[in-house]
Amino acid sequence: MEQKIQSLKELYEKDFYLWVQENLKLLKNKEYDLVDWENLLEEIRCMGEWYVDRVVDLMADILENLYRWENFRYREYVGHSWVKSINNARNEFEGIFKRHPSVKVKAQERENIQSAWELAVYRLINWFKEPQNHDLAKKYFGRFPTEKDFPKECPYTFQQVMEYEPWV
């Protein structure tokens, strides 16, 4: 039995798909003693975290585009794609929250909003490094911006992430 469990643990590293199939077979056959519980529990934890990670990524999209709209919109016709990105992210939010209501509670936690903001800042910095935005970097910062050029704390609330429309 120990040999079987050890080989399953090795299979986890070598062939994840086969590891899943083997553990599934063991569970269906109620051979619980042979299941690789350590890795199975970690995978279950990761499955749940995937939705939180996705929501943080969507919040980062929204925060990046809200901040860009409010601070770096240099012409009236600029920013329509930013609005579209915000709306698309909000639509995906709604789908996730409808199917997994507890994720909305998790998304509202300050640490997740702050993580999203830090990711948004990273994306904004990289946006200015794109060749077509070099002039904007010079215009707004006199150089390429760094983290120090943006608020350390997220300037938006969760409600603003979900509802704020400065273009209206």
pLDDT in tens, 42-74: 999 998 899 999 999 999 999 999 999 999 998
Residue 75 DSSP label: S
Split at pLDDT 50, 70, 90, the class of 141 is very high
Residues 26 and 106 in one domain: no
pLDDT at 106 over 90: yes
Residues 2 and 78 in one domain: no
Domain assignment of residue 31, yes or no: yes
Residues 89 and 125 in one domain: yes
Q: 10 or 125: which carries more pLDDT confidence?
A: 125
Residues 99 and 62 in one domain: yes
Which residue pairs, CB below 8 angstroms and at least 24 apart, start in 140-144?
140/71, 140/72
Residues 67 and 146 in one domain: yes
For 65-104, what is each residue's pLDDT tens digit? 999 999 999 888 899 999 999 999 999 999 999 999 999 9
Residues 30 and 55 in one domain: no
Structure confidence at residue 162 (pLDDT): 97
d(CA 53, CA 148): 25
Structure confidence at residue 9 (pLDDT): 85
Residue 31 belongs to what domain range? 1-35
Residues 78 and 147 in one domain: yes
Residues 3 and 53 in one domain: no
Structure confidence at residue 5 (pLDDT): 67
Domain assignment of residue 40, yes or no: no
Q: Which residues contact 12 (CB under 8 A, 6 or more apart)?
A: 19, 36, 39
Q: Residue range 114-143: average pLDDT?
A: 97
Residues 157 and 88 in one domain: yes
Domains contained in the chain, number = 2
Give me the torsion for CA of 122, 128, 132, 134, rounded to 10°: -150
Residue 152 DSSP label: S
Q: Residue range 111-122: average pLDDT?
A: 98
Residues 17 and 96 in one domain: no
Structure confidence at residue 135 (pLDDT): 96
Closest to 36 in 3D by CA, of 15, 52, 51, 50: 15
Residues 87 and 111 in one domain: yes
Which parts of the chain fold into alpha helices (H)?
A: 2-14, 16-28, 37-72, 80-99, 101-107, 110-129, 134-141, 158-163
Structure confidence at residue 77 (pLDDT): 87
Residues 65 and 99 in one domain: yes
